[in-house]
A = this chain, B = another copy of it.
């Protein structure tokens, strides 16, 4: 267990990350709203677009109670963006899957998320690569140290 650092640069980075989080989160909600989706609905739809899955798995991915997913999928289903399919292997399970319209909406939403992409254009190729490796190491993924 590493001791959290309190040197000025670390605190500055923490502050900057807070700013990134606030800005990115707000932009995401706004982008979702432009497609008449709430943030939660957009997250569920985006998740299902990667792969249809049982309702319970959606809840696990989003770290919320399964009962919440019922309502969110209800609303997405009402709008024809998602459908419930039976699981041939277990009749208790319902697989939530995006419809064609849902896949299309998710794609347009993804493409409209310019916040993270646009400011990155300010950086050079080398800088983006460096940022990638630093973030990877911060997140505990494998990445070469940047000496």
Contacts and interface: CB of A to CB of B under 8 A. Distances in A.
Interface of A: 2-7, 9-14, 16-21, 23-26, 28, 63, 113-114, 116-132, 134-140, 145-147
A136 to B, nearest CB: 7
B130 A20 contact: no
B16 A24 contact: no
Contacts of A10: 117, 120-121, 128
Contact of A132 (B3, B5, B9, B119): B9
A5 B124 CA distance: 11
B9 A17 contact: no
A21 to B, nearest CB: 5
Contacts of A120: 4-5, 10, 13-14, 138
Given A4-B120, A13-B120, A122-B140, 13 more contacts: A4-B118, A5-B121, A9-B125, A10-B117, A11-B117, A13-B116, A23-B139, A26-B63, A123-B137, A123-B138, A127-B134, A131-B131, A131-B134
Given A146-B127, A147-B126, A17 B24 contact: yes
